[in-house]
Structure 1
């Protein structure tokens, strides 16, 4: 690692994120920047890592993601601190093992799993451009796939173990590919991006970070998710819609996510979601 990289790593923040300083209100103005509602959090955030830092600061022990897999009976809950720690470790893996830099293109093909939330957040945090699983066109620099599906022949292949608690790949990893689970836990708990994104850095689908956060805010409003609300969905985080709705909507709302695998609608009552989306959303009936 270069001396510059070592210097950057030495300035890490103990919470996992370098928390941006909030602007000082002008004299006589309303101290709106001190509120923690979704609109204020999003307005202060210019990038996804800015949003994560503010979200973590407001209530680090609050649940962030609850993942339910009814067929196996698995239930995994991550606090905001734990999710941020996973994002930091994956971001470190991407930078120091995979070798990404700002502008690296990454296609994500992960199942409806809590790791499917952490991976795009990590990619955006180190300046990568994220493409969904069903993306067509020119190959991306990196392809990230779950071990529950066929691994494609691709340069820059990363295989992610998708057992309930993650871990190593449960299938043989092709020669030259990276088993993310074998490396990620050894990464630092804190992340400082070597080339952090700015507001105009491309993020996904023709959107820069500003546009991505605006799209997520619009979607939160259209779903009726109030500040601090709990969103339940089965929409894959690796789909084009899921990158916004599943991954970012709970963050811009300052809330939490209940992520349910297919066939899990009957399990939602005990989770008390405020808004149900995806195919779990009741179909309106006409009289």
Structure 2
């Protein structure tokens, strides 16, 4: 693989990582909560799509019409009845509870669907590619995921900056007490933010299930990639998250071109460099936008 081709593939891979990271960034930006079950919920969505595909004779894209609303409702319920109780001055309760949720989800999947690797199939669209000069081929599905990530982040950014709900989200992330005094319910705002985050992670889980295989234990790796993208881009910045995801994707694919067995390790090393020398991320944003 040439370096140019590796960079292009890395940019496309960044689109998938951006979908994983956007929900994590949103929940942290609104609630100051790090959801350690983020990857586990992505895997849960992938298995939900697999079940729908096998029982309903639908393809994974059509299954999203069921999975995304279901995960959004689940996110709202989980936030209102579980995560809301952990919010406070200390981040430790939320970390412990979400870690517990990830363990419960993973072990429940192990008991019900076994540890076998699974994959979602889109037929010919899986292998369809666009040929470019220089022998470079761009996968149609990774390109679609990248474009979708750009559209989703643009819409989410527009909602946060131009709508009444977006203004409430930004206000409650800064001072929930004052927002409540003005008649808005921070708990409801948190719930809808969690619903959006879970809907995004459902799309990411299904997209990842199409691009590669997954198992009940895949959630931890998804979480790491999402966390690294958020930190590289800058906490609180949605476009920073996209940029961080692209940097991480390029680091992995260029690393694979240089040392195929060390692809993931090279991505981790790039993250470590950012953490050591640019801990605020590329955008260095402190407010959600």
Q: TM-score, normalised on structure 2?
A: 0.31
Higher helix share: 2
**Using CA pairs below 8 Å that are at least 6 residues apart, which structure has the higher relative contact order?**
2
Q: TM-score, normalised on structure 1?
A: 0.32
